[in-house]
Amino acid sequence: MAIKDTIEDSGDVFPTESTLFGKYELGKLLGYGAFAKVYHAREILTGKSVAIKAINKQRLLKSGLTDQIKREVSIMRKLRHPHIVRLFEVLATKKKIYFVMEFAKGGELFTKLSKGRFSEELSRKYFHQLITAISYCHSHGVFHRDLKPENLLLDENWNLKVTDFGLSAVKEEQIHSDGLLHTLCGTPAYVAPEILAKNGYDGGKIDIWSCGVILFVLNAGYLPFNESNLMVLYKKIYNGDYRCPKWMSFDLKRLISRLLDTNPCSRITLNEIINDNWFRKGFKNVKFDELSVCDGGGDCDSDGNKFLNAFDIISYSSGIELSSLFGKLEEKATFERFVSKMAADAIIAEIEIVAIEEGLIVKGKKEFKVKVEGRDGKLIVAVEIHRLTEELVMVEVQRRENEGESESDIWKKKIKDRLVYKLDELVDG
């Protein structure tokens, strides 16, 4: 598909140019959903293939799924595993959000499975890879909650890659006082019986149930629970009513029976799966060097200094508020952010010079922070600076509201105009 055709078919998802932010050459449409479309693209500098998920921000806001996108970004940033699709960066304009992700050349596992069931050996290979990925997620407090073959991709070497963390839960954020999750989610045929009971559930246990359904599908070629009537389907799931095909080995049937145990308390654990006789055949634990990432999102340079992602920049502008780095504002204070081309130390120096000229007090001066107070000891302005790239920084400002001609006007009249590099020029230019 030509670039021009892709842009027209996408409903103007991309800018009118053939590249996105001058960094990615756009390619064919790979798939789409209600709020997003996924495209193949090529990184111009390296020639590397990537997948770009383009999300309509306005539709996202109307649908009330902002928290879901926040969660997906937060989770994917901290997961670095050979069997999990990597999120490289998130770009954004005022209208669109773009996830730049690892490109899985082999497509969906579901597509390969639709051509016929897998042998036990091949089923075991993919189950090995799935369990190592899910074990890694759980060790990082992440529960996927929507595992199914459509969310399992294959790379160019036909190795499995888990994707789509939009319905995932983070342990410390989503568990109620009873220690359980309560959000109803998942795909009907893969949903665990305890979710249907609506009494709360363990996120790790429901992932294990879904892994059991996936393993069944890999070797059987069909779903263990499959009914057109949703209530009949849920009744079968709740009762654990399924039949294994005759070609399944005894050891595989036994493992599936423990994976699809309707009682989450006695359902097999990840450690027990890894020590299971059927599973252990040919199993080699994945060894890899997990890439270091900065806490709280963003990326790091070689010295470990935090850079904000372009997604953070646009999220602070109007339309979709995803975070706040300043916390509670002081009384009668306003809050603003802007992007500057000046270095952080130059900005601090500029503020300090003006403060001295005006006879004001500089306090709390650090490498990326400074406070200026008036002669009455009241805050005039507090500034914190975050690096975006080698050339750009984001300046966050908390200042006292103007009260006529006063010291509080100094920020607006004497400092700000020297520092600002308009955000619109960065994201739309």
Q: Which residues are catalytic?
A: 146
The kind and range of the H/E element at 344 are helix 344-357
The answer to whether 54 and 14 have CB atoms below 8 angstroms apart is yes
Q: 390: closest CA among 303, 283, 325? A: 303
Count how many Cα atoms sit within 13 Å of the Cα of residue 265 in the half-sphere of its side chain: 1
d(CA 131, CA 139): 12
The answer to whether 27 and 41 have CB atoms below 8 angstroms apart is yes
CA distances from 201 to 7, 179, 263 (A): 43, 9, 11
d(CA 381, CA 409): 10
The answer to whether 174 and 201 have CB atoms below 8 angstroms apart is no
Matching residue, tokens 């019986």: 193
The answer to whether 410 and 360 have CB atoms below 8 angstroms apart is yes
Matching residue, tokens 């897998």: 118
CA distances from 139 to 72, 78, 131, 142 (A): 17, 12, 12, 7
The kind and range of the H/E element at 303 are none
Matching residue, tokens 């629970």: 225
d(CA 306, CA 7): 34
Contacts of 134 (CB under 8 A, 6+ apart): 144, 147, 162, 207, 208, 211, 270
d(CA 138, CA 142): 5
